[in-house]
Chain A
Amino acid sequence: MQTSISTNADQSQLDALENGCGIFVWDAATIVRHSGPDALDLLHRLTTKGLLSVGEGQSQRTVLTSDRGRVVDVFLVANIAENQLLLVSDSPNSERVVSEIDYYTIVEDAELTDISESQTRISLIGPNARRTVESALNIGLEPDTTARIDFGDDPVYVISDTSRGPGIEWIDVIYDTAVFSRFVGAFENSGGITVDAHNFELFRISNAIPGSDREYGEHANPIEAGLLHLIDWDKGCYVGQEVIARLDAYDKVQRNVKVLKSQTPLEEGTKLTSDSKPAGVVTSASQLKPQNGEYLSLALVRKAYLSSATVLDADGTTATVS
């Protein structure tokens, strides 16, 4: 349980994310090179999205689930060159996705190299994100594509991701950690504003963007975790497909991700109740006070309590479903 430190949100950072271009530098993220002629086909057989059509220069986010239909990780597959993929996820635990894919690599000609430590990831988010990247790096970038730029001896990969939410422009930039400050400066000079982890988290929560080991993880299936749009129902088998198809076909999904509003900040992990009956659990909670004065959290809320304006109890604090 985290300690509450309540401060005001930085409106200029939130404005950049909502209306301009916010620059967020990840402290830790999973960045893996997956190479070999069988790499894409293997990921297609293992994950929820059809990937065979992701050609060179294109990208697609997908979900790796366990044979029990629970989320192992969600990652972006960027086809950066012939038989060369870059896998990028929000999880700080790269070992999880590497070991899971490695386990299923049997006769396939495919190799995983974890480069998370040597590379830095920046996400540029907001309606001006693409313009900012194009201006700073002097490139053109279409939605769901990836571009490579040579920066001295080191390649820089720029990956567009339209899967984060309706209308959310999100671009990931991956490059050698040694030169990362030069890129942040270039993006700031092109109109971007650097955002800190707390304001990024508030943006993520307010837009109901599922987070790693928060809304999704081994505790949740991808449908309840708000990842329904990353499942292709007609692609055929993948690990966990039978369980996930059954959950959908028989309407067995019991929870959904919802934004909660409260007058005081909530704590992650707090159980939600309604008339003393279990109603869900808080999965992400911002400690920042937004301009309108209502604190925001994300929760996995049980089916019976999903309606907007439903009032729940969070260990003595009133939380309203948004």
Chain B
Amino acid sequence: MTTMSPQRSVPINTIEITAKAASKVTKFAADKGMEKYGLKVAVKGGGCSGLTYTLDIVEGPDADDKVIIQHEIEVYVPKKAFVFLAGTVLDFSDGLNGKGFEFANPNAAKTCGCGTSFSV
């Protein structure tokens, strides 16, 4: 999971998941034998730069989650985390040098070397 520079403009009232990232989520859910699922994207305190991305495949949204549907995937973002993620593109990079899920977060002023944490 790494951070990349934003390459396209995403409305700030949503986050975008690419088709490739969505297909990976579908595959991971299938591997876990889940029929009903969604992708929980959040931010928690910690990591070298202070804020760390978290990704989980879950059965459904929590009460205070913002729900975004793209590529037939439901994405759940806690409202408190959304302020740090608005306008973010979630992509997936595979292959030998691939880094897995990548965040292009326009709110990130600084990221750590490994890309899993950021500051705003």
> Which A positions have Cβ atoms within 8 angstroms of B?
42, 44-46, 67, 101, 103-108, 237-243
- In the bound complex, do residue B45 and residue A242 qualify as a contact, i.e. CB atoms below 8 Å apart? no
Q: Is B6 an interface residue (CB 8 A)?
A: no
**Which residue in chain A gives the minimum CB-CB distance to B84?**
A106
Q: Are A242 and B112 in contact (CB under 8 A)?
A: yes
- Neighbour of A67 across the interface among B48, B84, B113, B116, CB < 8 A: B48
Nearest B-chain residue to A240, judged by Cβ = B48
Q: Is A239 a contact of B49 with CB atoms below 8 Å?
A: yes
Most buried by B among A46, A103, A237, A243: A237
User: Whole-angstrom distance between the alpha carbons of A140 and B112 in the complex?
Assistant: 45
Which residue in chain A gives the minimum CB-CB distance to B46? A45
Which among B43, B48, B78, B80 is the interface contact of A237 at CB below 8 angstroms?
A: B48
Closest 4 CB pairs between A and B?
A45-B46, A104-B45, A242-B48, A239-B50
Q: Say yes or no: A107 contacts B50, CB within 8 Å.
A: no
Do B43 and A106 have beta carbons less than 8 Å apart?
yes
Please name all residues of chain B whose beta carbon is closer than 8 Å to the beta carbon of A238 when the two chains form the complex: 46-48
- Name 26 A/B residue pairs within 8 A (Cβ), A-sorted: A44-B46, A46-B50, A67-B48, A67-B50, A67-B110, A67-B119, A101-B45, A104-B45, A104-B50, A105-B45, A106-B43, A106-B44, A106-B80, A106-B81, A107-B81, A108-B45, A237-B46, A237-B48, A237-B52, A237-B112, A239-B45, A239-B47, A239-B50, A241-B48, A242-B49, A242-B112
Q: A42-B46, A46-B46 are in contact. Are A104 and B113 (CB under 8 A)?
A: no
Residue in chain A with minimal CB distance to B83: A106
B117 contacts A by Cβ under 8 Å = yes
Q: Which residues of chain A have C-beta atoms less than 8 A from B44's C-beta?
A: 42, 45, 106-108
Shortest distance from the beta carbon of A179 to any chain B beta carbon, whole Å = 36
Question: With a CB–CB cut-off of 8 A, which chain A residues contact B84?
Answer: 106
Complex Cα distance, B80 from A44, in Å, reads 21
Q: Is A42 within 8 A of B45, CB to CB?
A: yes
Set of chain B residues within 8 Å of A240, measured between Cβ atoms: 48
- Bound-state CA distance A105–B46 (Å) is 9
Kindly list 6 other residue pairs between chains A and B, CB separation below 8 angstroms, not including A45-B44, A67-B48, A106-B78.
A106-B51, A107-B43, A107-B80, A108-B44, A240-B48, A242-B113
Q: B39: which A residues are within 8 A, CB to CB? A: none
Chain B nearest CB from A234 CB (Å) reads 15
Say yes or no for B75: interface residue by CB 8 A criterion: no
